[in-house]
Amino acid sequence: MSITASIPARGAAQALAKARTGILGLDEVTFGGLPAGRPTLICGGPGCGKTLLATTFLVNGAVMFNEPGVFVSFEETSDDLIENVGSLGYDLGALIAQKKIAIDFVRVERSEIEETGEYDLEGLFVRLDYAIKSVGAKRVVLDTLEMLFAGLGDTQILRAEIRRLFAWLKQRGVTAIITAEQGDGTMTRYGIEEYVSDCVLLLDNRVSDQITTRRLRVVKYRGSAHGTNEYPFLIDAQGVSVLPVTSAGLAHAASDEVISTGIPGLNQMLGAGGFYIGTSILVSGTAGTGKTSLAAHFIEAVCARGQRCLYFAFEESPAQIIRNMRSIGLDLQPRVDAGLLRFEAARPSLFGLEMHLARMYREIEEFEPAAVVLDPISALRGETGDVHSMLLRVIDLLKSRGITAFLTNLLSVEGMDKADAGMSSLMDTWLSLVQLESNGERNRGIYVLKSRGMNHSNQIREYQLTSHGVKLVDAYLGSGGILTGSARIAQEMVDAASAVRRAQDLERKQRDVQRRRAALERKISELRAELESEEEEARKTLQHDEELEKRLQAERHAMAIQRGGTAS
């Protein structure tokens, strides 16, 4: 068949050709799509999304893969169908006008039909053939073929004809989806899974704790590997998306690059100067410890790098978060306006865990953020094990994409929750916010409980929520541990007073020295003056002696002349 030949085989030489569904996640679960040129059975209970899934397959084929399609509807008229899928944003009317999709409504009404002997379903074949030719269809949906059993009585003929129909579809080389209602204890009410042996998808819509979760499972897929788990899937205004559960491997790359926490003091506490990119960070603390404020700082730091950030808020509305963060001097609104920050707010009780997961997956795929904030994970309801496995999947999803995860967790009581302890192994960095109670007041303290791959501080540091953001305060260690709040302030005052005292002492000592120097210098000059006067006297005496000597000489000369001698 031509479809088969056009898709290059990967790996094994005879790899099965696949028709991509274009449905987020489903192509991953089926490793490439539905078997091309073969029929696939989608079964499930009422209202589990069979028709929408099939329609999406058809529309995506026409829009994304240039494969026109035929929709044979046994339940809904063309108009109803166009209207119903319009809610998913599909414009079937336009696609029909462009001859990319043909809809044929086959009405089977038992009361209008009288059976009078042998017959076959050649009429259906003729219609299908005509419709396929009219748009050059590569894809066909039969929704719901089993309606035939309700309309026609001769099941023997029907079974033979359905078998013939599947063979015919295969021979035509169209990729077909046949939907069927789930029966009591069987996959389909009339057992047509016996005839479709290539690929069977089972849809399920389960309610637990009054919350519905849609799930999809690939029951079988002949000739291909496939994910074997139940995968949650989502139908909403943006269409159908399936959540492929975990790359079970631990093969994510580890980045050496660091992203700022947005708080200088906190950067210092973490040895590397911030969080490693692509790691998971948990901030836990009791009510009012400022978890969201810390998250806001981180967001601001991410956005300041020009990177996108996705914020899943489970307890507050975006407007409320933005308003509250303004009170600590952080305005996130410009970041939202610039398209760097997106809020996704939903009450945890709105969907089940799986649906939250599926929604997150879709948002992350679409927005491609550098960082994701979940605030708070404690709001997610469910059994501890379920929450844990969901978070594991979120973390895996984010890590495999190198997205930094920032999770907050509200602790119900002081100390560590059991769930919290279970979370620990998933987290690379765990910041704990504590209320330090002493001297009749509560103060906020932060410490790094763990941070993989960096030499982090072991101190509990006090921090304050100021109008200019979160500020870490220098730690004061007193005899009874760290000092916070007014005790710290008192200690600071004591310190300040002693500093003043020390300064005064120093000054006085300096003055003393100066005084003594002055006194000594005075003494020195006195002595010098004394010395000078003594020297003067000595000089005068010397002069007097010389004059006396001269006079004596002169007298001696005069006496000699008088005696008549000559002078010698």
134 vs 317, beta carbon nearer other proteins: 134
Under the binding rule (CB under 8 A), the answer on residue 152 touching other proteins is yes
Q: In whole angstroms, how close is the CB of 157 to other proteins at the nearest point?
A: 8
Q: Does 114 bind other proteins (CB under 8 A)?
A: yes
- Using the rule CB under 8 A, give the single segment among 84-92, 102-110, 288-296, 306-314 that binds other proteins: 102-110
Report how far residue 37's alpha carbon sits from residue 34's, in angstroms, rounded to the nearest whole number: 9
Strand partners of residue 305: none
Asked if 150 touches other proteins (CB under 8 A), the answer is no
Residue range at the interface with other proteins (CB under 8 A); choices 6-14, 58-66, 85-93, 125-133: 125-133
**Alpha-carbon distance 201 to 179, whole Å?**
9
Among 115, 257, 536, 546, contact with other proteins (rule: CB under 8 A): 115
Q: Does 130 bind other proteins (CB under 8 A)?
A: yes
- Within 8 A by CB and 6+ apart from 263, the residues are 294, 297, 463, 469, 470, 471, 472
Q: Which of 8, 11, 46, 117 binds other proteins (CB under 8 A)?
A: 117
CB of 113 to other proteins, least distance (A): 5
How far apart (Å, rounded) are the C-alpha atoms in residues 85 and 56?
9
Contacts of 383 (CB under 8 A, 6+ apart): none
Binding window for other proteins (CB under 8 A); candidates: 116-124, 275-283, 346-354, 421-429: 116-124
429-438 and 441-451 strand pairing: antiparallel
> Does 120 participate in binding other proteins (rule CB under 8 A)?
yes
DSSP class of residue 112? G
Residue given tokens 């700022």 in the structure block = 260
Q: Rule CB under 8 A: which of 412-431 touch other proteins?
A: none
Nearer of residues 134 and 208 to other proteins, judged by Cβ = 134
The interaxial angle of helices 50-64 and 78-86, nearest 10 deg, is: 80
Give the binding range for other proteins (CB under 8 A) out of 101-109, 344-352, 431-439, 530-538: 101-109
CB atoms within 10 A of CB 112: 8
Least gap, CB of 102 to other proteins (angstroms): 10
Amino acid identity for residue 80 in this structure: D
Closest to other proteins by CB, 165 vs 427, is 165
Alpha-carbon span 478 to 490, nearest angstrom: 11
Q: Provide, rounded to whole angstroms, the least separation between the CB of residue 122 and other proteins.
A: 4
Task: Note whether 512 binds other proteins by CB under 8 A.
Answer: no
Choose which of 16, 23, 62, 106 interacts with other proteins (CB under 8 A). Answer: 106
Out of 36, 54, 95, 124, the residue judged to bind other proteins by CB under 8 A:
124
**Cβ distance to other proteins smaller for residue 102 or 201:** 102
**Can you tell me which of 127, 159, 163, 189 binds other proteins, judged by CB under 8 A?**
127
Which one among 28, 91, 104, 417 touches other proteins, defined by CB under 8 A?
Answer: 104
Is 107 one of the binding residues for other proteins (CB under 8 A)?
Answer: yes
Q: Does 108 bind other proteins (CB under 8 A)?
A: yes
DSSP state, residue 305:
T
Q: How far is the CB of 134 from other proteins (least distance, A)?
A: 9
Provide the pairing of β-strand 275-276 with 404-410: unpaired
Q: Does 122 bind other proteins (CB under 8 A)?
A: yes
Distance of alpha carbon 424 from alpha carbon 426, whole angstroms: 5
Q: Which of 28, 129, 316, 417 binds other proteins (CB under 8 A)?
A: 129
Q: Phi/psi at 310 (nearest 5 deg)?
A: -115, 130
> Within its chain, how far is the Cα of 170 from the centroid?
45
Least separation, in Å, of the C-beta of 322 and other proteins? 56
Closer to other proteins by Cβ: residue 97 or 529? 97
Asked if 118 is part of the footprint of other proteins (rule: CB under 8 A), the reply reads yes
Instruction: Indicate whether 126 belongs to the interface with other proteins (CB under 8 A).
Output: yes
CA 66/CA 44 separation, integer angstroms: 29
To which H or E segment does residue 541 belong?
A: helix 485-562
Contacts with other proteins: how many residues (CB under 8 A)?
A: 25
Residue (111 or 568) nearer to other proteins, CB? 111
Measured distance between the N- and C-terminal CA atoms of the chain, rounded to whole angstroms: 160
- Nearer of residues 129 and 492 to other proteins, judged by Cβ: 129
Taking the C-alpha atoms of residue 69 and residue 57, their distance in angstroms, rounded to an integer, is 9
Cβ atoms of 465 and 433 within 8 Å: the answer is: no
Part of the chain binding other proteins (CB under 8 A), chosen from 100-108, 162-170, 304-312, 544-552 = 100-108
Q: How far is the CB of 175 from other proteins (least distance, A)?
A: 22
Radius of gyration (Cα) for the chain, nearest Å?
45
Nearest to 145 by CA among 103, 102, 177, 167: 177
Q: Which of 116, 458, 467, 566 binds other proteins (CB under 8 A)?
A: 116
Comparison of 127 and 342: residue with beta carbon closer to other proteins = 127
The string of DSSP codes covering 391-438 is HHHHHHHHHHTT-EEEEEEE-SSSS--HHHHHHHTT-SEEEEEEEEEE
Task: State the Cα–Cα distance between residues 330 and 66, nearest whole angstrom.
Answer: 48
- The footprint of other proteins (CB under 8 A) covers 104, 106-108, 112-127, 129-130, 148, 151-152
